[in-house]
Structure 1
Amino acid sequence: MNPLLSRLQPYPFERLKQLFAGVTPSPEFPAISLGIGEPKHATPGFIKDALSASLGALAAYPATAGDLKLRTAFTGWLKTRYSLALDPATQVLPVNGSREALFSLAQTVVDPTASPQPVVLSPNPFYQIYEGAALLAGAEPYYVPSVPARNFAVDWDSVPEEVWARTQLVFVCSPGNPTGAVMALDEWKKLFALSDRHGFVIAADECYSEIYFRDEPPLSGLEASVKLGRPDFRNLIALTSLSKRSNVPGLRSGFVAGDAAIIKKFLLYRTYHGSAMSGAVAAASIAAWGDESHVVDNRAQYRAKFAAVTPLLEPVLDVRLPDASFYLWAGVPEVWAGDDEAFARELYAQYNVTVLPGSYLARETTYGAHSTNPGRGRIRMALVAETAECVEAAERIVRFCKDARR
């Protein structure tokens, strides 16, 4: 067996299951889960219609690169959303959701034979696929802290020069999971300069880009690259998907875009990896990428939901409206002494509401003279259910926090 498999850590939801083992929640309350970031809004009918009308495509093997119509749907959306002009033949590829692409990109980019051992950087807290991808590519993960005082911006300045010298891949997530923070142009400028100096690839995870709460939509890494005089997107790959944008997590559909030289190597890897998108999924994807009205409606639903829930929680939790995404990243009350696991367990036991302990989304690391888990003392709440259910969950959390003060 691959010995690197032994280095993988349990997934957050496995740890949550273990945390709740033996706990019987109060029968007074029906279960409400804010734990898993799975979209719950209705899938638009026209996407389902496009899928069912194309089932005949199941009789043929699909091309790993997808056909030109599919790739043009990607570049058309990039043009509409970001005013970017990419070549559909060389600068985009279909993927089966951003999750599998994040993992397989690391296998493509990282050279495991390099000496000293290569490094893959990720934010801390982070999406655990980044860590698993790094470990199974033979790299050493390095966790870069997000700073609460700076709206959870990643502290790239804290990374030692000797680590940058070994870095081959940097994962960024903007809008961020779990914090909802969006990277500003100055932050991209800093990261691009570091990439030019050290030669590492940047993988920009942008799957939450269409759920935002400010007037200005989130900046894409591709958009930042052009603004900063890098129209070739060198050493940059952006990844996005339809799961959150179009409420089709089961479709497993997305695309990657950016540096043509990396796209070419990624296509070679994927040809052997067996990760082609089926023709039926491609047809549904073309329909989805070509329509914005359902995206506007989806965003309006999230805005209304967050506007209803956030003010309820602000008096009892350290929480505020994020820049984007569908998560609230909240600090637990002082009475819990930073014990996010105990908070989540007791909330589940007393009020049958599930939230995810923030420490499960981060790693204990040492920065300067201090060792810390930057997720400790926080919880992640995914506001994916209907508004009424999310409001009910928030009201229970308020009662739970007020009870704890007595």
Structure 2
Amino acid sequence: TWLINRYKLPVDTVNPDINVLPVTGTREALFAIAHCVIDSQLQDPMVVTGNPFYQIYEGAGLLAGASMWYVNTLEENQYLPDYSNVPDHIWERCQLLYICSPNNPTGMVMNQQEYELLFKLSDRYNFVIAADECYSEIYQDESQPPLGILQAADVAGRRNFKNIIIFHSLSKRSNVPGMRSGFVAGDPDLLTYFYQYRTYHGCAMSPYIQEASIAAWNDESHVIENRNLYREKFDAVLDILGPVMEVYRPQAGFYLWPKTPIDDVEFTRLLVNNENVTVLPGSFTSREVEKVNPGKKRIRMALVASLDDCITAAKRIKKQINSL
């Protein structure tokens, strides 16, 4: 019901018996899907992902016996991967594509045209699209929730969701990362294989977590309040850092992805040592591709603390920048 309501899907497109499977958090599910779909017996299988990326994508692909291909996420491409520039010979080897929209760490959202390009590529080269949508419920404009891949597939007339599997979690939506509750949904054939694979490595969600999860998915009031709190934090932090850093307001998610005045690792070290503020160096989130590391001289700032703590941290970051 939540999927149908959130993404305005026809009621007959999502059958919970064949299209949905609960998982104990999407981290393990994102890892497991690679082992479920990658055939390491084929010559040099490939996993494609954006760059920067959630480290689970890379670990899953490599441990499943595949090679990785990274698609840079750059400012000139509106901070989204440009899949149209991936060579044909890479798509021919690709068995799995990880996408993340809203994107971690850039906060940008894919549109219908970008999804339809991926559908065409998937049809042509027969690879699975694993869509990590865990940031889908944290967005700036209340009137424009991010487009999801199942919604895009429905618009494109792909109601069988062929080669599509999505990953949703309560961790970000409801601020319960320790509860380890989420679900996967999509292509019923993929879900059949995934279910069979999980019988060997997955564990069932406890009845208590199931009840709490049902309550969370059925309530939108706390999610709206959560978004309002994030907007307040973005407003306050951007007011402080905007004059001293090159930083933009993301469409969604809870990260800022600003440029740093010096090397990102050194800047992070100074913040920890001098101001007791922890951020993630951008270069730690990405790989160098064609002599470009998209995370170089950037940091990922997660506005997950209280409003007061975020304001304090922003002031300390500003102080550190002014002391350089």
The two structures share one fold, judged by TM-score above 0.5: yes
Q: Aligned ranges for residues 249-398 of structure 1 at < 5 Å?
A: 249-333=177-261, 336=262, 339-366=263-290, 371-398=291-318
Instruction: Give the distance between the partners of 2:307 and 2:198, measured in 1 at CA.
Output: 40
Q: Aligned ranges for residues 96-245 of structure 1 at < 5 Å?
A: 96-115=24-43, 117-214=44-141, 215-245=143-173
What is the CA deviation profile of residues 16-51 of structure 1, one whole-angstrom value per residue up to 9, with x for unaligned ones?
A: xxxxxxxxxxxxxxxxxxxxxxxxxxxxxxxxxxxx
Partner of 1:70: none
1:180 Cα deviation after fit? 0.6
Partner amino acid, structure 1, of 2:93: R
Question: What secondary structure is seen at the aligned counterpart in 2 of 1:318?
Answer: coil
Instruction: Give the distance between the partners of 2:207 and 2:68, measured in 1 at CA.
Output: 36
Whether 1:82 and 2:29 are equivalent positions in the alignment is no
Any gaps of 5 or more consecutive residues in structure 1?
1-75
Partner amino acid, structure 1, of 2:22: P
Q: Aligned ranges for residues 13-24 of structure 1 at < 5 Å?
A: none
Instruction: Give the distance between the partners of 1:245 and 1:286, measured in 2 at CA.
Output: 13
Instruction: Give the distance between the partners of 2:203 and 2:131, measured in 1 at CA.
Output: 20
Larger radius of gyration: 1
Instruction: Give the distance between the partners of 1:150 and 1:187, measured in 2 at CA.
Output: 12
Instruction: Give the distance between the partners of 1:141 and 1:275, measured in 2 at CA.
Output: 28
Partner of 1:37: none
Instruction: Give the distance between the partners of 1:175 and 1:282, measured in 2 at CA.
Output: 26
Any gaps of 5 or more consecutive residues in structure 2?
none
1:355 Cα deviation after fit? 1.0
TM-score normalised by length of structure 2: 0.97
Question: What secondary structure is seen at the aligned counterpart in 1 of 2:234?
Answer: helix
Instruction: Give the distance between the partners of 2:199 and 2:42, measured in 1 at CA.
Output: 24
1:287 Cα deviation after fit? 0.9
Instruction: Give the distance between the partners of 2:187 and 2:84, measured in 1 at CA.
Output: 25
1:360 Cα deviation after fit? 0.1
Partner of 2:176: 248
Q: Which has the higher contact order (CA 8 A, sep 6+)?
A: 1
Instruction: Give the distance between the partners of 1:145 and 1:362, measured in 2 at CA.
Output: 9
Instruction: Give the distance between the partners of 2:244 and 2:26, measured in 1 at CA.
Output: 35
Instruction: Give the distance between the partners of 1:311 and 1:171, measured in 2 at CA.
Output: 34
**Runs of at least 4 residues off by over 3 Å:** none
Partner amino acid, structure 2, of 1:389: D
1:136 Cα deviation after fit? 0.8
Question: Contact conserved, 2:237 with 2:314, CA < 8 A, in 1?
Answer: yes
Instruction: Give the distance between the partners of 1:378 and 1:158, measured in 2 at CA.
Output: 24
1:149 Cα deviation after fit? 2.0
Instruction: Give the distance between the partners of 2:70 and 2:139, measured in 1 at CA.
Output: 26
Instruction: Give the distance between the partners of 1:210 and 1:379, measured in 2 at CA.
Output: 23
Instruction: Give the distance between the partners of 2:68 and 2:204, measured in 1 at CA.
Output: 28
TM-score normalised by length of structure 1: 0.78
Instruction: Give the distance between the partners of 1:164 and 1:315, measured in 2 at CA.
Output: 43
Which moves more between the two structures, 155-164 or 232-241? Answer: 155-164
Q: How many residues align?
A: 320
What is the CA deviation profile of residues 160-197 of structure 1, one whole-angstrom value per residue up to 9, with x for unaligned ones?
A: 11001000000000011111111111110111110000
Question: What secondary structure is seen at the aligned counterpart in 2 of 1:168?
Answer: strand
Instruction: Give the distance between the partners of 1:145 and 1:97, measured in 2 at CA.
Output: 27
What is the CA deviation profile of residues 31-88 of structure 1, one whole-angstrom value per residue up to 9, with x for unaligned ones?
A: xxxxxxxxxxxxxxxxxxxxxxxxxxxxxxxxxxxxxxxxxxxxx1012211223001
Question: Contact conserved, 2:80 with 2:103, CA < 8 A, in 1?
Answer: no
Question: Contact conserved, 2:241 with 2:318, CA < 8 A, in 1?
Answer: yes
1:349 Cα deviation after fit? 1.6
1:157 Cα deviation after fit? 2.1
